[in-house]
A = this chain, B = another copy of it.
Amino acid sequence: MAKESNILKMAKAAKQASRQLAVATTRDKNRALRLMAKMILAEKAFLLRENRKDIAAGEKAGLSRALLDRLLLTDSRIRGMAGCLKDTAKLPDPVDAVIKTFMRPNGLRISKLQSPVGVIGIIFESRPNVTSDCAGLCLKSGNACILKGGKEARYSNQAIFSILRRALVQTDIPVGAIQLISSTDRSAVYGMLKLNDYVDMIIPRGGEGLIRFVSQHSSIPVIKHYKGVCHIYISDDADLNMAHKICFNAKVQRPGVCNAMETMLVHKDVAARFLPGMIKDFQAAGVEVRGCPATRKIVKAGVKAARVSDWPEEYLDLILAVKVVGSVEEAIEHINTYGSGHSDAIITDNQKEAALFLKSVDSACVYVNASTRFTDGYEFGFGAEVGISTDKIHARGPMGLNELMTYKYVIHGTGQIRT
């Protein structure tokens, strides 16, 4: 109860700050972002010290090496955090950007302008830099934010937050614009999910448990950042050499991220030519291959049998499911059934087939002849990103500054009345 009332206080403060932030000048916002970057760099020793507490606790709790690595702050990662804030200062201000303007026959001039959403709650489980990255993006977009990081990063997040707040005190941006939920349990999150009057949007980034919890309990609109079960379909009209390079890149270059390929679909007419060399290279790179019966007929050595439970699986690891399909339609059906609406690609030289795939696959990003690994705010040129939305409402795919905005219609009249 006491905890919920803290959340309520925090949300009210954020709402109030959001009104001031919505009308803040670009100059004041950019100055705040640069000062935040400067103080992050100046407080490096403090950040490293606090981060060591998280690392020590994590080691004691037996976190995996991969998780400990994500948790770790280093000189270069701290420079990266400051760099992201400075980059965000350089991005165009999205507030009041004109989406379109049109005149009506009665002389009304209607402009559709980008405007801040208000207060955005961001719940994440991963690296501490998300705290400053998201705080910066929200500030630039005129939104107040309430951040909730993972408990394994609590000392680091609290340290970053305290630096950002100390920076804001020296600016004209209200300090209430950035809030951090420091409680480490979910009841604090639960409390926030019910504050419709003060929080306008919730962005959960993380695993299945977190996403389900938030979706089920939130009465505030949620933009899910869920898993990436990405597919590449190799058509019988594919350049198999290109397909080989793209698939290897999409699986091996960085397997632990959401835009890595998890399932490879291969047309039956090219499977016998394509699969032996491809699977050999995957296996040489340490990839465990799980194949359908047709795949295992073609390549016997070391290919495990894929189960139905493999198709919707996000491995985030050097594991790949492989299925031979009879047609592009079957590939599309497989992707729409088992995929997560994130990123899917077709490798083909057949333009008609490519068009069908692009139109029919119901995913945020659909590719022809390129690696799914490009689904990323930086790669798309957005400058920075909050994450990748796997939702279809409001924002889909990489979420940068513009995706944190709503719009309003501004109508200029000269006395028009309705008749």
Contact partner of A418 among B216, B374, B393, CB < 8 A?
A: B374
Q: Is A253 an interface residue (CB 8 A)?
A: yes
Q: Which residues from B are CB-within-8-Å of A223? A: 393
From residue 237 to 284 of chain A, which have CB atoms closer than 8 A to chain B? Answer: 239, 242, 245-246, 248-250, 253-254
Q: Are B368 and A416 in contact (CB under 8 A)?
A: no
What mask results when residues 379 to 417 of chain A are scored 1 for a CB within 8 Å of chain B, else 0?
111000000000111101100000000111111111111
Q: Are A19 and B336 in contact (CB under 8 A)?
A: yes
Q: Are B364 and A253 in contact (CB under 8 A)?
A: no
Q: Is A167 an interface residue (CB 8 A)?
A: no
Q: Are A118 and B393 in contact (CB under 8 A)?
A: no
From residue 322 to 379 of chain A, which have CB atoms closer than 8 A to chain B? Answer: 336, 356, 358-360, 362-371, 373-375, 379
User: Which one of A1-9, A102-110, A293-301 is at the interface?
Assistant: A102-110
Q: Which residues from B are CB-within-8-Å of A97? A: none
Q: Is A221 an interface residue (CB 8 A)?
A: yes
Known contacts A104-B380, A393-B393: A418-B200 contact under CB 8 Å: no
Q: Is A98 an interface residue (CB 8 A)?
A: no
Residues of A within 8 A of B (CB): 19, 22-23, 96, 102, 104, 108, 110, 115, 117-118, 196, 200-201, 215-216, 219, 221-223, 239, 242, 245-246, 248-250, 253-254, 336, 356, 358-360, 362-371, 373-375, 379-381, 391-394, 396-397, 406-419
List 14 A-B residue pairs with CB atoms under 8 Å apart, sorted by A's residue number: A22-B362, A118-B392, A221-B222, A221-B394, A246-B417, A249-B417, A254-B418, A366-B409, A368-B412, A369-B413, A369-B416, A370-B414, A374-B411, A374-B418
